[in-house]
Amino acid sequence: MDLGLKNKTVVVTGGTSGIGLATVELLLAEGANVAFCARNQTTLTEISAYLENKFPTSNILARCCDVLEKDQLDIFAKAVEERFGNINALINNAGGGRVSTFSNTTDEAWVAELNLKFFGVIYPTQAFLPLLEGSDNPSIVCVNSLLALQPEPHMVATSAARAGLLNLVHSMAKEFARKGIRVNSILLGTIESGQWQKRYDKAKSSNEPHTESYEAWLNQLAKQKNIPLARFGHPEEPAKALLYLASPASSYTTGSTIDVSGGMAKHI
């Protein structure tokens, strides 16, 4: 199936690892022009070189940018406009999760988490909205979590922020519809990432009995978490959902979500 992304321009925030990097690679494989950002210049340089070697004929623009810094986003947006003109899609991917309960989440942690989840979407959207308005069938896609609908007590701040983001996406979808801009999101379950590798390495170096491989360790965790598909998701799996929502293939879809949780959703 042709998603209609060839020669389209897509911006991805947090594009140097995990789901973000997988999304960038899939977009380049589809023939899209891709602009992506991240905060760490060293990592950005390494990933840019890797991508340019893998996709030598592709149009890639990489910039060091913090999505919570409006000035940096304005500079990034200007660079994208100068290189590609208008954009066809913005994928808001930057962000992470905070493990804490209500009793041990500090005021500063609450502010930081809510700030990241909301303004990590608001600021990039503000910066790139003018470039979306000038394109055909423009789209905004936000990476969210199943926590938005199924909060976890051990991730109280992230759960609350994710629920707010889901509300924000629906509000933007209704407001931006008159501009012809679609706004959707995906709801993640447990996806294999670098943080799980770090947890495995930490457990392996501790006194815990830990002789199984990383893959076996992940599978055991999936069973403990009662994931119906009995495994963690791979980054390219949510990335494929992001590509669909960002592309003209989903031209009549807005204010919607795609569940990428391996069957963990308990709501109807």
Residues 6+ apart with CB under 8 A from 101: 153, 154, 156
Q: What local confidence, expressed as pLDDT, does residue 196 receive?
A: 78
CATH 3.40.50.720 fits 9-191+233-260, yes or no: yes
Average pLDDT, the chain: 94
Nearest Cα neighbor of 185 from 97, 130, 99, 253 is: 253
- The DSSP bridge partners found for residue 191 are 233
Q: Is residue 16 predicted with pLDDT exceeding 70?
A: yes
* C-alpha neighbours within 13 Å on the C-beta side of residue 32: 28
Q: Give the global pTM.
A: 0.94
- pLDDT tier for residue 97 given thresholds of 50, 70 and 90: confident
Q: Tens digits of per-residue pLDDT, 38-67?
A: 999 999 999 999 999 999 988 999 999 999
Q: 104 exposed, middle or buried (CB, 10 Å; 0-12, 13-18, 19+)?
A: exposed
> Domain residue spans in the chain?
9-191+233-260, 194-232
d(CA 4, CA 1): 9
Q: Is residue 209 predicted with pLDDT exceeding 70?
A: no
- pLDDT tier for residue 211 given thresholds of 50, 70 and 90: low
Lowest mean pLDDT among 89-93, 133-137, 254-258: 133-137
Q: Tens digits of per-residue pLDDT, 132-177?
A: 998 999 999 999 999 999 999 999 999 999 999 999 999 999 999 9
Q: What are phi and psi of 266, to 5 degrees?
A: -105, -5
Q: Answer whether 14's CB lies under 8 Å from 193's CB.
A: no
